[in-house]
Each structure stands twice: as C-alpha cells, then as structure tokens.
Amino acid sequence: MRAVDAIMECLKAEGVEVVFGLPGGANLPTYDAFVDAGIRHVLVRHEAGGGHAAEGYAKATGRVGVAFATSGPGATNIVTPIVDAMMDSVPTVFITGQVRTDLLGTDGFQETDTLGITMPVVKHSFQIRSPLEIPRAIHEAFHIARSGRPGPVVVDIPQDLSRADITYEPVTDLNLPGYQPTTEGNTKQIRQAAKAMASARRPVIYAGGGVINANASQELSEFATSDRFPVTCTLMGLGAFPAPHPQWLGMLGMHGTRTANYAMDEADLICCIGARFDDRITGKLSEFAPHAKFIHIDIDPAEISKNIPAHIPIVGDCRNVLRKLIKEYRALEGVDTSRTDEWWQKIRAWQEKHPLRYEDSTDAEIKPQYMVQALYEASGGDAIVTSDVGQHQMWAAQHYHFAKPRRWINSGGLGTMGFGLPAALGAQVGCPDQTVVCIAGDGSIQMNIQELATCSQDKIPVKVFIMNNGYLGMVRQWQELFWDKRYSHVDMGSYPDFVKLAEAYGATGMRLTDKTTLVDDMKTALATDGPVLVDVRVTREENTYPMIAPGQPARDMVG
C-alpha cells in the first residue's frame, strides 16, 4: 500500500479517532489518504489552532492528541503549540509534511528545517529517510508521547516518501533500549517518605499536573485523607484534589491563596508530587520554604533537585508511587494524628483572616471575579473550562472550584495567549457529552478567533465568555504596579464588535453588562445551540490579587 495509507492504519492501531490539521502542498498525499481512512479530521483555520486543539483534546481525555501540518510556514505555525505541549507535558504527536528529498537543502519552495527548529522543544523527533521507516516511526512516536513524562513528538515526512508503495505489516514489537522510564519508585525511599510524613508537625502536600497526567487523583485524595495532610495544587494541578474540601488550602503560587503560600513558607516538610518548583511557585528561591525538608516525587529524574534540593527523591509514576506510599503509611504503627493540631489551628486562622476577597460593585457593573463566580453558578460547577492567559486565567483558577481532574485546561508553563478557544474546540471533540466553556480575555481571544469558523462548520458547541476590560489586563497591572502606571500600548480600544464578529463566523453573539442578571444570562448562553461568543463587559482597571511580586518571598504577598 501507499505509505500514507500505512500512516492511517498506524493511527487506527493507536486508537486515533480524530486529527486536527490543515492541508498544504507537502502533505497532500497524506490528506488524500483521509478520503478512505475512516478517521475524523477537523479542518482548523490556522495550524496553531490545530496544535492547541490537539492539546485540549489530550488534556481533556488523557489520550494522545494529533495534529497535521504541511512544510515551511505550516510547520513553523505549530512550533508554539509544540513548545506549549513540552512545557505542560501534554501527550501529542505532530506529523508534518516536508519537501521532496531531492529538494532538501536547496531552499526549495516551503522548505524549512523542521527538525532543527523543533529539536530543542520536543520530547523526540523523527526525520523520515526511507518510506519503510514510516510505520515504526509512527508507533514509536505514540509510545514516546504517552509514556514516562508525556510530551510532544514530531514526525517529519518528505512528500515523495509519503507517496511511495511499501509492504505494510502491523508493528507489534517496540524495542527502544535507550528509552526506559522509571515508573515504580524506589521502595526504600518510599518507606522513608512515609516515616517522614508521619513525624512531620507542619506537613504540606504540594501537587501538580503530573498527578493528573498519571491519573492519580484518587490516590492523592486517599493519601491526603489517610491523615490530616493539608493539600495545595499548582495552576496545572487544579482538580487533582477536590475543591472545596476541608483539607484544601487553595492554589499556591504567584496568585495563589495566602493560606497556601503561608503554609508552604512555614512548613517543616513539603511532599511535592508531580510538580517542578517553578518560579511562579517559589518566588525568591533563596527564601522559599526555609524551614522545610522536601520529598519530591516525579516521573522525570531531570526535575528532581533541579530548583530545590530533595531530601527524599523518588523517581516514578505518581500513581504507582502513591499507591505504595499509602500502603507504607498505613503499615506504620503509633502515628500520632494529634501532632498537627496546632498546625491546623494556624491554617484555619489564615483561612479566616485571608479569604479570597474583592470589593464588589454597588451598581450593575460586573467585577471580573464575580463573572467567574457567576459562570460557576450558571454551569453548576460541572463544565470543562479552558482559559487563555492573563488576569482572567488567574481569576478563573481562584474562583471556579474544580472538583475533578481534566476539567481545567490552560497554558501554564509557556503562557500562550490564543490557547483557550482551540483548546476548548479540542476538548469538546474529545468529550462531546460535556459542557465546554472557554474563559478568555479580549486580547487573547483575538489571537486564534478564526477557530470560531471551525466550531461553526463542524458544529462544535463551545461557549466562549470574554472577560472584556479593553486592556491587555495583566500587562496593564504590571505597568501599574511596577512601572509607575506608565501604560504603554496596552489599551485594546473598543474593537472588534464581538457580537457582530461571532455572527460573521456563524456563531451566536451576546453582550452582557448587567451584574443583576448575569447568572441567568449565562444560563441562556450555555443552553443555546451551537458555538456561542459572549462579550462580558467588566471593570476596566481591576487587579488580580493576592500576588507575590516577582522575585519576592511568599510571606510578602500583596493585595
């Protein structure tokens, strides 16, 4: 069969049901194979939209997301989603077309060194040199993308090789001797961790996106409730532990709760599970958690002690390690459960003194925090929520309470504006029976708003709620706080008219300006058939608080 038909057989063998992409000259043979393949293809309007849609699909379903692009500008347009997937450990496979082999190195039309460009930002990449390599490369790409620490894999296929005839046999033996992730965790280290947790008087469990990637949320809750361990999650880890919950401290980090950050600052033992101590969590690194010892559980050995030295390092899959940790903890004798009484008294005092708060409007004006709360009420807290990047993202993380994993989908590590709408598109395709909403900013939404056309054409009923303050809000906030209010090029003006734009794309457009009817109006939007774009006008200059100023310790939070 043709090599491109073999690609389709490989995708079906990997369980792929949908591909997001855009055809071009170098991948035309592959698109010809779609005609008879029986695999759903979603035609996006920009390759970046296809890449982010594949991410949204992967994050919502836990399966590998797949995106196709042609050579040259098609390939370079998906670089941002590739980097985004790398930063957030998203299992994705990107298959790009390439110019014919006789044109490689000649600066041929739409030739780009896709492997050279993407090599620093992928988990692995394949440059096909012979059509016989294609089936094995596809299967290895999926195996690498989903196993160990998940991540993006690129397969670059020259056009002439994709057209070649090959003898296709299913690949059943994947032997990658140089790639053997450690998944079980060292038993001795796990036993030490259990003993350390049992003796800690001020413990905190700090969980990240790795818990969700490992499908370990149930195990996290089981371990936390095996004693009275306080739990905080990163932005990427929200939903890994049910919120609200008596042991839930809220999100930690730059815009986390005071309680979570103060607890980390005064803890004597921090158990980090599937997180990486990034700068948005630690603040001033030299003053981070000065009284604590650290247990660090992670599938990626490169993350252990990268930023914070681990006293008890455990390399392994979070789910496997937590199961063993629960067993070891329960086997301990004489654990004094009252040892954390004073710690919980302190935590409750922080929670009472420093709840998330804001000054509500006295008229019909909509505060951005209330917008998120209203959406939580209107949706019953039971939606898959994607977001773009900025103030709206932080307010959503603070005020929309995620009780389950894979309900909060956003760009954490790279902070990609334009992520939210295509990610919602992908999540909706992967979870057709779920309500999927995107919380966007008026700046971010315009970076991939063309995907509304994809939603309309494919009848993908995502609901987009734009938190419209007429600014690049987070940049404006930083200019206010750290640049003496010298606002420089952050005013977005009154363009476009989002209601008219939605209608032009075949979606329903709505504009909401009244706080008193907001919940009911949002319920109407959610109940409307097809894709809906809702322009919610909010207070123009509202800041996201609390906040750890850049380079400052958590104990010096402001706002």
170 in a structural domain: no
Q: Which of 353, 376, 401 is the last residue of a domain?
A: 353
Report the C-alpha gap between 71 and 24 in whole angstroms: 8
Give yes or no: residues 27 and 133 share one domain: yes
- What are the structure tokens assigned to 257, written together? 């709760």
Q: What would the two tokens of residue 89 be?
A: 């450990």
Sign, CA torsion 517/519/521/523:
negative
Tell me the three state secondary structure of residue 462: coil
Phi, psi of 417 (to 5 degrees): -65, 140
Contact 122, 95 (CB under 8 A): no
Query: What whole-number distance in Å separates Cα of residue 13 and Cα of residue 24?
Result: 25
Is 517 within a domain?
A: yes
Residues 93 and 202 in one domain: no
For residue 546, tell me if it sits in a domain.
no
Helix (H, G, I), strand (E, B) or coil at 509: strand
Q: What domain count does the chain have? A: 3
Whether 362 is covered by a domain: the verdict is: no
Is 554 domain-assigned?
no
The DSSP bridge partners found for residue 124 are: 153
CA angle 79, 37, 166 (to 5 degrees): 85
337 and 401, same domain (yes or no): no
Q: Does 156 lie in the same domain as 15?
A: yes
- The reply to whether 476 and 411 lie within a common domain is yes
Domain edge (last residue) among 147, 163, 179: 163
> How far is 294 from 420, CA to CA, in rounded Å?
34
Query: Under 8 Å CB-to-CB from 177, ≥6 apart: which residues?
Result: none
The answer to whether position 361 is within a domain reads no
Cα–Cα distance for residue pair 100/108, rounded to 1 Å = 9
Query: Which structural domain, as residue segments, surrounds residue 522?
Result: 368-537
Does one domain contain both 327 and 382?
Answer: no
* Residue type (1 letter), 532: V
**Are 214 and 93 a contacting pair, CB within 8 Å?**
no
Q: Compute the radius of gyration of the chain from its Cα atoms.
A: 24
Q: How many residues does the chain have?
A: 559
Same domain, yes or no: 384 and 506: yes
- 304 shares a domain with 226: yes
Residues 343, 378 within the same domain:
no
Rounded-to-integer distance, Cα 224 and Cα 222, Å: 6
pTM for the full model? 0.97
Helix ranges, 458-517 (H) = 473-482, 498-504
CATH number reported for the structural domain that contains residue 418 in this entry: 3.40.50.970
Do 132 and 203 fall into the same domain?
no
Q: Is residue 479 part of a domain?
A: yes
Whether residue 559 is contained in a domain is answered as no
Crossing angle between the packed helical segments 47-61 and 79-87, to the nearest 10 degrees: 30
pLDDT in tens, the chain (559 residues): 999 999 999 999 999 999 999 999 999 999 999 999 999 999 999 999 999 999 999 999 999 999 999 999 999 999 999 999 999 999 999 999 999 999 999 999 999 999 999 999 999 999 999 999 999 999 999 999 999 999 999 999 999 999 999 999 888 888 899 999 999 999 999 999 999 999 999 999 999 999 999 999 999 999 999 999 999 999 999 999 999 999 999 999 999 999 999 999 999 999 999 999 999 999 999 999 999 999 999 999 999 999 999 999 999 999 999 999 999 999 999 999 999 999 999 999 999 999 999 999 999 999 999 999 999 999 999 999 999 999 999 999 999 999 999 999 999 999 999 999 999 999 999 999 999 999 999 999 999 999 999 999 999 999 999 999 999 999 999 999 999 999 999 999 999 999 999 999 999 999 999 999 999 999 999 999 999 999 999 999 999 999 999 889 999 999 8
340 and 376 inside one domain = no
Q: For residue 195, give the CATH number of its domain.
A: 3.40.50.1220
Question: Do 200 and 130 share a structural domain?
Answer: no
